[in-house]
Every structure is written in structure tokens, then in C-alpha cells.
Amino acid sequence: MPKPELTKPVLLFDDECGVCRKIAGWVRPLAKSKSGNTTLLIRPIGNDPEELRALNPSLDIWDAYATIHVLMPNGSMKLGGEAVGEVFRNLPEIRWLTGIFSISIYGFRPFQSILNLAYVILADVRPLFGCESCGTPRAWVRPIRRIIQWAEDIGGGSPRPKPAPHFTSLSTGGRLASPDLEKEST
């Protein structure tokens, strides 16, 4: 499959993650200009692995599942908070705000650093919001989960089913893979 020519940034999101789907749903209508043109392409990861490879052959699909990626028209990639900043720059109604992320004080971009930290925290707590594909929350998030469960038990909230990990561990290099890919590799 030939590499498609990108004219707009492409936001890749985990369509198995409820949080990522909600955010993509929020971004999609905002990515339209007043003339109706889309300023940002939004693509779910996993629907077509060949298309993902065609967009950027060096993109590791497991990295793309773990962290937000924005593929730029010049072939570069932005990750995490930098990718979020790029998404904001491509939303006509929010674009005015994005200059703050470029402010640099002796080479340090404080507002971009805050956005990077906010992304890391969101990525760590997404399992708390019911994301089944994100697996188990990180160690620092687990006490928060226990407090939420305790509060639900006291308040009579219905118990949530435990999320099943979206991926299974491979023996080589600790990478994560889907069961379908394990079948194909044997």
C-alpha cells in the first residue's frame, strides 16, 4: 500500500478506550472550520493496521495504543502533551489559546510542561473512568480506585465489573499483543 500524502495532521486514538472515544467525539465537531472543512483528521487505531503502517511505517502500534499520537503532514510525530497541544492548534474555536504553549522562559515552556503533566495524569487515571482496554491502573492510582469503590459501596452504588486487560503479555520483550495477533504469528 503506498504511503498516503498527508495534508492535515492525523490524530490517532484508541477506539477500544471509552475515554479516548469520548475525547475524539468532542474533538471531531470542533475540528471543522466555519466553511465546513476539516482541520484535523481523526483515525481510530486498530480498524486497519495496514493503513496505520502506510501512514507511518516506524509507528509501533503498541506505542500508539499507550500514548496519543498526532502524525504531522511533514512526517514527524507528536506524542502525549505535545500531541494534545497540536490538536488544540488545529481546532478553530480553541486555536487562540494555543500560543500560551509556545511561551518559553530560558528554553523552558511552563505551560506546555503543565499540559504534558496533565496528559500523563489523564493517561494514568483513564482506567478509573471505565476504560476496559486500559487494563489495570498504575500503582499511584490504585488507592484512588479503592476510595471510589469504598464510596460506591457506602452510597449503595452498583458494583462495576472488573475491567479485563485489552492485551495479553508476550514472552518477548514484555510487549503487549492482542490474542488475534498471537494466532497470526503462530
Give pLDDT tens digits for 72-120: 998 889 988 899 999 999 998 888 888 888 888 998 989 999 988 888 8
Q: Are residues 115 and 141 in the same domain?
A: no
Q: How confident is the model at residue 182 (pLDDT cuts 50, 70, 90)?
A: very low
Q: Chain-centre distance of CA 91, in angstroms?
A: 17
Beta strand residue intervals within the chain, DSSP E: 10-14, 41-45, 69-71, 77-79, 168-169, 176-177
- Look at residues 97, 120, 143 and tell me which one is the last residue of a structural domain: 120
The confidence band for 9, taking pLDDT boundaries of 50, 70 and 90, is very high
Last residue of a domain, one of 81, 100, 120: 120
Q: Is residue 147 one of the residues assigned to a domain?
A: yes
3-state secondary structure of 176: strand
> Both 105 and 137 in a single domain?
no
pTM above 0.95, yes or no: no
Rounded (5°) CA angle 43-2-186: 75
The answer to whether residues 17 and 67 touch, using CB atoms and an 8 Å cutoff, is no
Choose among 180, 160, 164, 167: nearest CA to 65.
167
Query: 144 and 98, same structural domain?
Result: no
CB 30 within 8 A of CB 92: yes
Whether 113 and 142 share a structural domain: no
Same domain, 36 and 106: yes
Into how many domains does the chain fold?
2
Kindly report the number of other CB atoms within 10 A of residue 75's CB atom.
11
Write out the residue range of the structural domain in which residue 53 sits. 10-120
